[in-house]
Chains A and B, each alone.
Chain A
Amino acid sequence: MAVVEYQAPQSLEDALSILKKTDIKSRVMAGGTDLIIQTKSQTAEPVRVVDLKHIDGMMGYTLDDSGLSLGPAMSCAEFTEAADIKAVYPGLVEAAYLIGSTQVQGRASVGGNLCNASPAADTIPALIANSAQCIIQGSQGERTVAVEDFVNGVGQNCMADDEILKRITIAKPVTGTSDAYLRFIPRTEMDIAVAGAGVSVTLDASGVCTAARVAIGAVAVTAILVPDAAAALVGTSLDESALAAAAAAASAAAKPITDRRGTAEYRTHVVGVLVKRAAKIAADRVKGA
């Protein structure tokens, strides 16, 4: 893509009417940390960038008894500084915190990470583990899509060219619930995930798991929800054999490729290790809290 026009609408309606134009392609932009890299070529298809950051509601959040309602373009830096969000969804916050460097954090957003739909996106397994909902606004009106159904291909999401993700909502978790996100990279920062795991667990007073959601990333075309891995945890006290069974289920569900970031067998193995470890961290958070 080559950027030939820049617009910064002040309202969602203005943004949507720009997207309806058919002269050249439009791309919405939040933090821009993926989009700007994709627009480096002068000889590629001309594109109009529509900056969403000046629109009310795209940048802030509310957190109350109904849960979290998140502006998709809010920077990860601000998102991860919100102690109240971290107290309720520590795994989602740690996933958002892993995106890039401090500099990238200053711009990148949870919504942008989701919409960019990289198979290795860090926020998506954590969003899935938390049963996030995507509120989409188009010219036909508003619709809601479960986050595990939002991404439908490599770099592809379910929105039409004239739709915008306007809000991400996550219901308040029931008591005794916490989450965790782990990713594997060869260094300590900066790398794209070789494998990722987002886990949410609910424990009863005696430490038995009554509910769980396990999602894995970077090991398939999209992040995937693994019901079998969750099932392996439910009804157990997350002992070694339950964790091992969850890990095995995650590895079995993985359909990774071999590329410059890892081999298929390596990813298959490591995603299981991550699920085990993330489940334990989530459980420890419940008990510690």
Chain B
Amino acid sequence: MSEAKEYKYIGQRTIRPDGYDKVTGKANYAADLTLPGMIWGKILRSPHAHAKIIKLDTTKAEALNGVMAAATFADFPSVSNEAIQSGEGATDALDLGRNILARDKVLYHGHAVAAIAAKTEAIAERALALIEVEYEVLPPVMDVRDAMKADAPLLHEDLFTQGSAEQPEKPSNIAARHEFKMGDVEAGFAEADMIVERDYYSPTVHQGYIEPHACTVNYNKDGQSMIWCSTQGHFDVRASTAKLLAMPLGNLKVVASEIGGGFGGKTTLYLEPVALILSRKSGRPVKMEMGRDEVFRASGPGSAARLTVKVGAKKDGTITAMKSTMAFEAGAFKGSPVMMGCMTSFTPYNCPNVYCEGFDVVVNKPKVAAYRAPGAPQAEYAAEMAVSELADKLGIDQIDIRIKNAAKEGTQTIYGPKLKAVGLVECLEAARNSPHYQSALKAGEGRGIASGFWFNVGGQSSVTINMNPDGTGTIVEGSPDIGGSRASMQMMASEELGIPLNDLKPIIGDTESVPYSQSTGGSRTTFATGMAVIEAAQDVVRQLKERAASLWNVTPEQVEWQDGVAINTAGEDKMTCAQICAKNDKTGGQITGTGNVNARGAAPSFAVHLCDTYVDQETGKVDVVRYTAIQDAGKAIHPGYVEGQYQGGAVQGIGWALNEEYIYSKDGVMENAGFLDYRIPLASDLPMIDTIIVEVPNPFHPYGVRGVGESGIIPPLAAVGYSVGNAIGANVTDLPCSPPRVLKLIQGKN
């Protein structure tokens, strides 16, 4: 569909259309809306990691002067186990409700127990202290290995392991077992000349978005409600809230504010249903904001994981078998991304014998949420570390072994389909030819290389383009913009219409103004919503040609559209878009184009990263001295924002590899619930992040687009981890490579 051609806008570094508001502070985020009569909501949170709620009484709190409402789980109409669409998978409504407000048990320190709305934040906070709660404290389960033991304290009496061989009789903390296999791994290992088998660990981490969760809501007496919140999926917020509060979908309008970072963590919800209950009971608009420590303790971090990986290869580097057994922490309720870990672990490799087994395990930590390519960073970290070690033991170059065994078009994946055209080999070759790879390491430095794979998704998006009488137009789409995607929508529409970029203004409509669109995630926006934009723009072009035809008294087939101008092939006439639109009221009314897709053909984006680190051997401190992120974008609509995705993913991965982790006391209380001690990378910690955009077009998108948002977080864990090990001459297995751990590895060698 698309060949290498000269585009007018596609591939340019345009100024994003929402940029002015962002650099002036005018853009409105979740906490920026105030409504008349608004009051403040606050949440009481559990002081215990695991306990039964024996008594919960808000009477005294409600009697405090200035308090206008209280909410507990009892305020949810009966919630059943049905699935609600949420983010990249279905969510159990009962689990969601019990996470938002605890029912009979608190399952993590910080678990929401009750909420108060009052005239000021200060009064609300004082009222929380008057809520009477009696707990029966239970022993917390804080580690996946402990949770899987037969005698472990159980979080849920009604949780039985799905996917086990026999029907389980007793409840368990193991929510599910997954198994994926191809070929015969044992035969494959028997053929191998060299085998590496190791245990790996990746900790609980947080997406670290700088904007805490917040919302302003209003419940009218006639049942019509409005939620203003930052979210990656406002239709999901509507679906989940309506389900929990037993409201018709049509009564609930959700407006997506600008969003200050999501990375998957804002594909679910915490505050909105609670705020709506408080608004209904008080008759006032209610604003709720999470403090930073609440974000850490009580939103949805990324899963901790323990993995055992075994890989085998022949002397010449042909990989003959790959196996991974992994257990992921789901937090307080089932649903970690362990299945996606199984599906992605070894997908960069064309190996016929692969086996993955994964366990979804509940522990007394906050329920995990998606974090950028959920499940893949942990799983592919372990796989890449093992492959790198295998290469070193065989004396084979890191890139050579990956090219030799690279997944290509036609490679069978472990999760079912064969890969279509993909760009892994191209990324590996770009890595080999890069100035970074060609450069020599200095004393004390080490180098790591790693691949990354993520499927990317398509899904439903709807777009309308409403043309104005002066030939300008509005692109109304439903994908909250988490990274600058509006720029790409504008570019794709302008490319199709041929009219100037700034004549088309992209906006994100609320749930009442735009037809259903799936949430922003899965690297789907430029791909799927882009397809809907293109379809809508082509619909506008078709209608413009029809109107021109009627004005010229010719048939639409006799009208061509070129560079924003209608050309009468039966005569000499031309008409611009503006000229046609000026007469729309006479030719049939204002023009609206629609695009409605359930996009298929989302193509994976492979990534390859190179990392050089310097390790101070006396302290174990690691400095990243050079970093290159290479990734296949298919077609980079806006190269600046594509590079930005590569760099942002790389730096999140660097933080994950070096210093980020949830640190817990033995009572299950998080000890570093703030940006002081949850250490994300700073500007001074990093060098420039060099990028190389590889373009192997996706044949299923009009411009060849592949989603790029997620793959970039996968390679850094092993690129950094292996680099550190290479610098010190030891095997890194546990993340993060914080200085005490690295020093221990150094001292262990001597």
The answer to whether A190 touches B672, judged by C-beta atoms less than 8 angstroms apart, is no
Q: Is B125 an interface residue (CB 8 A)?
A: yes
- Which residues from chain B contact A262 at a C-beta distance below 8 Å? 740
What CA separation (Å) do A280 and B586 show in the bound complex? 86
Residues on the A chain within 8 Å of B677, using CB: 191-192, 260-261
Residue in A closest to B623 when the chains form the complex, CB atoms: A188
B676 contacts chain A at the CB level, 8 A cutoff? yes
B408 at interface, CB cutoff 8 A:
no
Is B125's CB under 8 angstroms from A269's CB?
no
* Residues on the A chain within 8 Å of B684, using CB: 187-189
Residues of the A chain whose Cβ atoms lie less than 8 Å from the Cβ of B165: none
Distance in angstroms from B492 CB to nearest chain A CB is: 40
Q: Are A187 and B685 in contact (CB under 8 A)?
A: yes
Q: Is the CB of B621 within 8 A of A186?
A: yes
B interface: dominant SS: loop
Cβ of A222 to closest chain B Cβ, rounded Å: 21
The CA-CA distance from A259 to B129 in the complex, in Å, is: 29
Residue of A nearest to B736 (CB): A186
B523 contacts partner chain A, Cβ-Cβ < 8 Å: no
What chain A residues lie within 8 Å of B663 (beta carbons)? Answer: 260
Contacts of B672 in A (CB 8 A): 260
Interface residue? B723 (CB, 8 A): no
B679 partner, pick from A184, A186, A263, A273, beta carbons under 8 A: A186
> Is B585 at the interface (CB under 8 A from chain A)?
no
Using C-beta atoms within 8 Å of the partner chain, give the interface range for chain B.
20 to 34
Asked if B619 contacts A190 (CB within 8 A), the reply is: no
Indicate whether A266 reaches chain B with its CB closer than 8 angstroms.
yes
Partner of A43, one of B126, B658, B682: B126
> Chain B's nearest CB lies how many Å from the CB of A35?
16
**Does residue A42 face the partner (Cβ distance < 8 Å to B)?**
yes
Q: Once the chains bind, are B682 and A273 in contact (CB under 8 Å)? A: no
- A190, A269, A273: the one within 8 Å of B676 (CB): A190
User: A189 contacts B129, CB within 8 Å?
Assistant: no
Q: Does B122 contact A (CB under 8 A)?
A: yes
Complex CA distance for A69 and B477, rounded to whole angstroms: 64
Task: List CB contacts (< 8 Å) of A245-260 with chain B.
Answer: 259-260
Q: Any chain A CB within 8 A of the CB of B533?
A: no
Residue of B nearest to A277 (CB): B618
B740 touching A263, Cβ below 8 Å: yes
Write the nearest CB–CB distance from B119 to chain A, whole angstroms: 13
B739 part of interface (Cβ distance < 8 Å): yes
Q: Smallest CB-CB separation from A274: which chain B residue?
A: B619
A28 in contact (CB, < 8 A): no
Given contacts A187-B659, A273-B618, contact A266 B740 (CB under 8 A): yes
CA of A256 to CA of B685, assembled, Å: 27
Chain A residue nearest to B130 (CB atoms) is A43
Bound complex: CA A184 to CA B743 (Å): 13
Provide the residues of chain A in CB contact with B128, threshold 8 Å. Answer: 43
CB nearest to B743 among chain A residues? A266
Is the beta-carbon distance between B739 and A266 smaller than 8 angstroms? yes
Contact B679 A187 (CB under 8 A): yes
The reply on A29 being an interface residue by CB < 8 A is: no
CB distance from A286 to the nearest CB of B (A): 24
List of B residues within 8 angstroms of A117 by Cβ: none
Q: Report the separation of the CA atoms of residues A262 and B743 in the bound assembly, to the nearest whole angstrom.
A: 12
Distance in Å from the Cβ of B720 to the closest Cβ of chain A? 14
Smallest CB-CB separation from A101: which chain B residue?
B682
A residues in contact with B738, CB < 8 Å:
186
* Complex interface: chain A residues within 8 A of B676 (CB): 190-192
In angstroms, Cα B684 to Cα A191, docked, is: 12
A192 to B677, CA, bound (A): 8
Shortest beta-carbon distance, B632 to chain A, in Å? 32
Task: Say whether B316 faces chain A, with CB atoms less than 8 Å apart.
Answer: no
A183 to chain B, nearest CB (A): 11
Which residues in B have their C-beta under 8 angstroms from that of A191?
676-677, 679
- Does A128 reach chain B (CB closer than 8 Å)? no
Establish whether residues B126 and A42, one from each chain, have CB atoms under 8 Å apart when the complex forms. Answer: yes
Complex interface: chain B residues within 8 A of A261 (CB): 677
Chain A, residue nearest B661 (CB): A260
Chain A residues near B682 (CB, 8 Å)? 187-190
Nearest residue in A to B621 (C-beta to C-beta)? A186
Task: List the B residue with the shortest CB-CB distance to A276.
Answer: B618
Which B430-477 residues have C-beta < 8 A from chain A? Answer: none
Q: Does B564 contact A (CB under 8 A)?
A: no
Asked whether B129 lies within 8 Å of A43 as measured between CB atoms, the reply is yes
Q: A266-B740, A266-B743, A273-B619 are in contact. Are A186 and B126 (CB under 8 A)?
A: no
Q: Closest B-chain residue to A267, C-beta based? A: B740
Complex CA gap A182/B731 in Å reads 30
A4 to chain B, nearest CB (A): 11
Q: Are B619 and A184 in contact (CB under 8 A)?
A: yes
The answer to the question of B639 belonging to the interface, with a C-beta cut-off of 8 Å to chain A, is no
Most chain B beta carbons < 10 A, residue from A186, A191, A194, A269: A186
Q: Does B681 contact A (CB under 8 A)?
A: yes
Q: Which residues of A contact B125 (CB under 8 A)?
A: 41-43
With an 8 A cutoff between CB atoms, is A96 at the interface? no
A165-B276 Cα distance, complex, nearest whole Å? 51
Which residues does chain B contribute within 8 Å of A190, judged by CB atoms?
676, 682
> Which residues on the B side are within 8 Å of A189 (C-beta)?
682, 684-685
* Bitwise interface map of B from 263 to 286 toward A, beta carbon under 8 Å scored 1, else 0: 000000000000000000000000
Q: How far is the CB of A102 from chain B (nearest CB, A)?
A: 11
* Chain B residues near A259 (CB-CB < 8 A): 671
Q: Could you give, for residues 168-193 of chain A, a 1 whenever the CB lies within 8 Å of some chain B CB and a 0 otherwise?
A: 00000000000000001011111110
- Determine the chain B residues whose CB is within 8 A of the CB of A266 once the complex forms: 739-740, 743
A134 interface residue per 8 A CB criterion: no
Chain A: minimal CB distance from B588 (Å): 59
Name the distance in Å between A47's Cβ and chain B's nearest Cβ.
15
Chain B, Cβ-Cβ closest to A191: B679
Fill in one digit per residue for B123-164: 1 if any A CB lies within 8 Å of its CB, else 0.
Answer: 001101100000000000000000000000000000000000
Per a CB cutoff under 8 Å, which of A42, A184, A192, A263 touches B621?
A184
Asked whether any CB of chain B lies closer than 8 Å to the CB of A238, the reply is: no
CB distance from A177 to the nearest CB of B (A): 27
Are A186 and B681 also in contact (CB < 8 A) when A270-B619, A273-B618 are?
A: no
Contact between B740 and A187, CB atoms less than 8 A apart:
no
Q: How far is the CB of A275 from chain B (nearest CB, A)?
A: 12
Which chain B residue shows the least CB distance to A247? B618
Report the nearest A residue to B677, measured CB to CB: A260
Task: With both chains docked as a complex, state the minimum distance between the C-beta of B724 and any C-beta of chain A, in angstroms.
Answer: 13
Interface hits, B677-722 → A, CB 8 Å: 677, 679, 681-682, 684-685
Binary B-proximity of A188-219 (CB < 8 A = 1, otherwise 0): 11111010000000000000000000000000
Mark B104-128 against chain A: 1 for CB-CB distance below 8 A, else 0. Answer: 0000000000000000001001101
Minimum CB–CB distance for A258 against chain B, Å: 10
Complex Cα distance, B744 from A263, in Å, reads 11
Type the 1/0 row for A42-67, where 1 means its CB is closer than 8 Å to any CB of B.
11000000000000000000000000
B616 closest partner in A (C-beta): A273
Residues of A contacting B739 in the complex (Cβ-Cβ under 8 angstroms): 184, 186, 194, 266, 270
CB of A50 to closest CB in B, whole Å: 21
Hey, which chain A residues are within 8 Å of B743, CB to CB? 266, 269
A188's nearest neighbour on chain B, judged by CB, is B684
Q: Give complex CA distance A273, B676 in Å.
A: 24
A184 to B620, alpha carbons, bound, how many Å?
Answer: 11
Closest approach, in angstroms, between the C-beta of A254 and any C-beta of chain B?
15
Docked pose: A87 CA to B70 CA in angstroms: 61
Across the interface, name the chain A residue whose C-beta is closest to B680.
A187
A194–B676 Cα distance when bound, in Å, is 13
Instruction: Tell me whether A42 and B122 are in contact in the complex, defined as CB-CB below 8 angstroms, given that A184-B621, A188-B685 are known contacts.
Output: yes
If A260-B671, A260-B677, A266-B740 touch, does A186 touch B122 (CB 8 Å cutoff)? no
A41 CB → nearest B CB, Å = 8
Q: Which 9 A-B pairs have the closest CB atoms?
A: A42-B125, A188-B684, A266-B740, A260-B671, A43-B129, A260-B663, A273-B618, A260-B672, A42-B122
* 17 contacts across the A-B interface (CB closer than 8 A): A42-B125, A42-B126, A43-B125, A186-B658, A186-B679, A186-B738, A186-B739, A187-B679, A187-B681, A188-B685, A191-B676, A192-B677, A194-B739, A261-B677, A262-B740, A270-B739, A273-B618
